[in-house]
Structure 1
Amino acid sequence: MTDIIPFGDEKIFAQMLPFITEDRKNKIMQLKKKEDRCRSLAAGLLLEYALREYGISLLPGKMQQMYLRFGEKGKPVLNGKTGIHFNLSHSGRYVAGVFSDEEVGIDVEQIRKGQMKVAERFFCPEEYLALQKGKMKKADCYFTELWTRKESYIKAVGKGMALDLASFCVLQDQVKFLKAGQTGEWYLQSYDPTSGYILSVCAKKCTKCEIQWISKEMFTQKFI
């Protein structure tokens, strides 16, 4: 996980730009908002940083170079048989990534306020009832937790928002399917990585994640 704030400095932004792929650079140049450019840069750096820990890279050089391809719903995956699965997410000033030897999904969100109408529309009855029972301040946190758990699942399976969010329940640590056609065992974990944010991970394995913060200095040490 990383903070995008340092990349708001134009000098640091330019210094880090060579360490992401050309495709991401082109995407960044099309973004109008500075915050969006910083988030995209941070996501690219976080991915490259983690891949180098595995001894591979998306860039030409001494390490084995890999390439990204995209699924039907746009989920990025590594080409070839690397055995590495990953997913990225961003919200506000933070970018998060998760890496595993099996399919995995992640979502990080700022805590949202007053989202009961959204919950009524998208949550299954069991989830909505659980949300109604909480006090409003806690309900805001609880809504965001449930939302990130749902997002992490649909990102793990690579189906995007085409999947009916009310067709599965995320109240427990394992996804419960409510309609026919959905199978598999998927496990959920939620975290409070920093004040005002909630992060959830969905994976094939029932294991807790170790959250590692990557600073601007760590990126610099890795790449320069």
Structure 2
Amino acid sequence: MAELYYMNIEDPISAEDYQTLLGTCASDKREAIHKFRFEADRKRTLYGEVLARFMIAKKTGVTMKDIEFDKNSYGKPYVKDQNEIFYNISHSGKYVVCGLDTEDIGIDIEEIRDIDLDIAKRFFHVKEYEDIISREIREQAHSLYDFWTLKESYIKFLGVGLSKPLNSFYFMINGESVQLCSQEDHTVYFHRYLLQDNYRLAVCVSTPDHIHMEKISLHDLVAYIKSES
């Protein structure tokens, strides 16, 4: 069963606790975090890293600091020396999300904002664009982000980055039903969520099992790190 944890970067955090989180990261990740100009970007990157380490540590028993990551040729991260642990991170606005499974997993979260339908016309499949513009004006934004997160979650599941164009496959959405139309010869399953009415989240997994989804606090993360000391 896949697990999904999410957290809010706007929750208050002390300088001491921030350093505790930072201390779980590898030196190159800490340097990358420091280079971000805006605090929100630093927090999204840091919290995503710590959230992944926390979930992997709970599953494997390896301490958070000792977990090592690498990337495939397309830049998709994976856990070194762990053949049955797969994870994926996504963040947008105030939310950071991490998914964990025993097989490949792809997730994407997007904050629903004012839309430019030209984006869908340029990058989405024509069938998806036609679906979006056929809807009531007030529904078009949710529809666009529904397709967007589904497509991103699928690409991240495949781990091939931008080498697979967004218009090379398409989705048909009918209520809760999602059908993927693609030349890939495999079966995947999608789960969709709406957080606080303005965040759309999609998860792509290889089995139809239920996904455990849970919000976690900074306090719980810090407490877990300290328990490993």
Provide TM-score, normalisation by structure 1: 0.89
- Structure with bigger RCO (C-alpha 8 Å, 6+ apart): 2
Give runs of aligned pairs for residues 93-172 of structure 1, distance below 5 A: 93-172=94-173
CA distance in structure 2 between the aligned counterparts of 1:220 and 1:193, rounded to whole angstroms: 24
More displaced 10-residue stretch of structure 1: 165-174 or 149-158: 165-174
Q: Residues 206, 57 of structure 1: CA spacing in aligned structure 2 closer, same or farther, 3 A cutoff?
A: same
Kindly provide the amino acid, as one letter, of the partner of residue 220 in structure 1: V
Q: Which residue of 1 aligns with 2:62?
A: 56
Q: Which runs of 5+ in 1 are unaligned?
A: 61-65
Shift of 1:53: 1.3
* 3-state SS in 1 of match to 2:90: strand
Verify the 8 A CA contact 2:17 2:222 in the aligned structure 1: no
* 3-state SS in 2 of match to 1:90: strand
Kindly provide the amino acid, as one letter, of the partner of residue 216 in structure 2: I
* 3-state SS in 1 of match to 2:81: coil
Provide TM-score, normalisation by structure 2: 0.88
Q: Which residue of 1 aligns with 2:33?
A: 28
Identity value in percent: 26
CA distance in structure 2 between the aligned counterparts of 1:7 and 1:20, rounded to whole angstroms: 20
Q: Residues 8, 117 of structure 1: CA spacing in aligned structure 2 closer, same or farther, 3 A cutoff?
A: farther
RMSD: 1.7
CA distance in structure 1 between the aligned counterparts of 2:108 and 2:200, rounded to whole angstroms: 8
Verify the 8 A CA contact 2:78 2:87 in the aligned structure 1: yes
Q: Which residue of 2 aligns with 1:214?
A: 216
Deviation string, structure 1 residues 164-190 (Cα, Å, up to 9, x no partner): 11111122434211xx5x321122111
Q: Which residue of 1 aligns with 2:51?
A: 46
Q: Which residue of 2 aligns with 1:63?
A: none
* Structure 1 stretches of 4+ moved >4 Å: none
Deviation string, structure 1 residues 146-177 (Cα, Å, up to 9, x no partner): 10000001111111122111111122434211
Shift of 1:7: 5.9
User: Higher strand proportion, which one?
Assistant: 2
